[in-house]
Amino acid sequence: MKDQPILVVGATGKTGSRVARKLEEKGFAVRRGARRSDIPFDWEDPSTWAPALSGVAKAYVTYFPDLAFPGAVEKLQAFTRVAAASGLRHIVLLSGRGEHHARLGEEVVRASGIPFTIVRAAWFAQNFSEGYLRDPILAGILPMPGGDIAEPIIDIDDIADVVVASLTTAGHTGETYEVTGPRLMTFAEMADVLTQSVGRPILHVPITFEDFHANLAESADDFVADVFTAIARETLDGRNAQTTDGVERALGRKPRDFTVFASAAATAGAWSVAA
């Protein structure tokens, strides 16, 4: 079975790239689903879906940029029909914690007839080192809305480990793993940890959601900024201010602490100017 490829949709993304690498390190064949792959996959081009699924028994599915985007749930539903017709035997879906549209996507997968695992994730720690918040960290600030709301931020490597276990070991079919870090942290507390790891002051700057939108619009178009701001408004209201046991249930270990992430990212040069 290791020779039969596992499709990783979004293989160039934050979670997909890690899942693909970890699968290959374990000796599994991987079909990288991306627009420029040898066998391309493009959410905007349904004609690519069946070829990408051909000969594949299992798939990890992420929707870029987010299941909250208009039309995403409908495309996921169409994809699952193609996947079922292709004979897919297990789908692992990345979902967003506390997001209404993500829950709709989960229901699509549950109703598809394909054996599934749902991985419902909290905010990514790597948003600070690889995403849209890296530049502010380089500038010494962490500008976030939500006030003193606490978030159980999670290391993406934990998400990838849960996905890989779900794809390659028994006992995960039908499970919904809501995955978080091991503790609640305010953004001010995250800034303190980053200060220690980066070695220079990182100041948490509370901002409005309007300012959050404006900051995003500087590096993305208004449509993307609209959707991510809507997600922030939806999720940074206290609904996610509790930890869960998803990582421990899936892997038999505790999730990594934010301090471990920050230290490793700093050592790897995530916040060096040349990174």
> From the first residue on, what is the mean pLDDT of each consecutive set of 10 residues in the chain (275 residues)?
90 96 97 96 97 98 89 97 98 95 96 98 94 91 94 98 98 98 98 97 96 87 84 92 98 98 97 72
pLDDT at residue 222, rounded to an integer:
80
Task: Classify residue 102: in a domain, yes or no.
Answer: yes
Does residue 33 belong to any structural domain of this protein?
yes
Task: Let me know if residue 203 belongs to a domain.
Answer: no
**Which structure tokens are listed for 17?**
């790239």
- The pLDDT score that the predictor gives to residue 275 is 47
Q: Which of 258, 130, 147 is nearest to 204 (CA)?
A: 147
Structural domains counted in the chain: 1
CATH of the domain at 47: 3.40.50.720
The reported pLDDT for the residue numbered 1 is: 62
Predicted TM-score (pTM) of this structure: 0.96
Enclosing domain of residue 48: 6-122+155-179+243-256
Distance CA 8, CA 221 (A): 27
Residue 251 lies in a domain: yes
pLDDT of amino acid 227: 84
Considering the domain boundaries, does residue 136 fall inside one? no
Residue 176 confidence (pLDDT): 98
Phi then psi for 38, rounded to 5 degrees?
A: -55, -45
Q: How far apart are the first and last CA of the chain?
A: 38
